[in-house]
Amino acid sequence: MLLDLSEVLACPVCGPPQIMVAVVHESEGRRVARGFLGCPACDGRFRIDSGVVRLLSATAPSPEPAESDSFSLPSGVEETAVLVGAVLDLAGESGCVLLGPGLAGIAGSLAAIAGRSEVVSFTHAAPHPPVAAPNLSTIVVSGDGPLPVLEGRFRAAALCGEPGEARIREVAAALRPPGRLAILAPAPGAAHAMRDAGLHVVAADERVAVASKSP
Ligand SMILES: [Zn+2]
C-alpha cells in the first residue's frame, strides 16, 4: 500500500470524513508492506499484510468473505485495461485511480498503463497469488456497504455492471474535478444515474459509460 493512501481512505467503521493514521512496521520506499491503519476516533486497527490492506469493519464475521470478486469483462483483460486507461485519460498526470469491486482482474494491467497514477483496487477477496505492481494498492473491503473513501481525492474511477445508484453517488463524491468515472458493461440506467449524481456524461454505449465531474 502506498503510504500516502491514508490521505484518501476513510475509516470503514466511522465512515467519511473520519481519516486514519498509518503505522508502519515494514516498508519499501513509500510503500507499506506490513503495519496497520488506525482510526483515532474508534480505535479500530486495520491490518496491512504483504502490502494488502484489510479495511473490514469489526462486525464482519470472516476476514475474507467467500463471495468471489470476478466480473465477466466485456472483452479480454488487456483490451479492457486499455479501454479503461483511454476513457479515463490515465496517461500523464499523477493521482489516485479508484477501481471498484469486480475489477481486480484488470488491476495489474491497468497499473502498467496508468503511468504515474496509483491504481487503488477495492476487492472483496485478496487476489491469489498477489498482484505486484509498483503503482498498485489492493484494499480488501466488506461485501456490502459504502467504500471507505474520502470526498474529492481521486482523479478517476472505474466501476462495472450494475453498481447501483448509491455506489455511483459515492464514487462521484470521491472524484476530484475534472475527474472521470467509467462504468464497464453498464446497466441501461447507468448514464441516468451518473447524471443524477451530478456528473456530465461524455459517452455511453454497451461497452462503457463515461462521465466527468465539473469543477
Ligand atoms: Zn473509526
C-alpha–C-alpha distance, residues 106 and 161, integer Å: 15
106 occurs within a structural domain:
yes
DSSP labels for 80-100? HHHHHHHHTT-SSS-EEEEE-
Residues 32 and 102 occupy one common structural domain: no
Residue type, 176: R
C-alpha–C-alpha distance, residues 173 and 107, integer Å: 22
> What's the predicted TM-score (pTM) here?
0.93
Cα 94 to chain centroid, rounded: 15
**pLDDT tens string 121-132:** 999 988 888 888
Residue range of the domain that includes 27: 3-55
60 occurs within a structural domain:
no
Residues 209 and 118 occupy one common structural domain: yes
pLDDT of residue 59: 57
**Ligand 1 midpoint to CA 164 (Å):** 25
Residues 13 and 115 occupy one common structural domain: no
Residues 51 and 130 occupy one common structural domain: no
pLDDT of residue 130: 80
Residues 22 and 122 occupy one common structural domain: no
Mean pLDDT of the chain: 91
**Ligand 1 midpoint to CA 45 (Å):** 9
C-alpha–C-alpha distance, residues 194 and 17, integer Å: 23
**Ligand 1 midpoint to CA 7 (Å):** 14
* Of 114, 89, 125, 167, residue with least CA distance to 2: 114
Which stretch of DSSP H or E encloses residue 154? strand 154-160
* Of 80, 97, 86, 83, residue with least CA distance to 179: 97
**Ligand 1 midpoint to CA 169 (Å):** 22
64 occurs within a structural domain:
no
Report the 10 Å Cβ neighbour count for 116: 11
**pLDDT tens string 12-61:** 999 999 999 999 999 999 999 999 999 999 999 999 999 999 998 765 54
Number of domains present in the structure of the chain? 2
**Ligand 1 midpoint to CA 42 (Å):** 4
Locate all alpha helices (DSSP H) within 88-185, ordered by sequence.
Answer: 107-113, 165-174
Residues 85 and 44 occupy one common structural domain: no
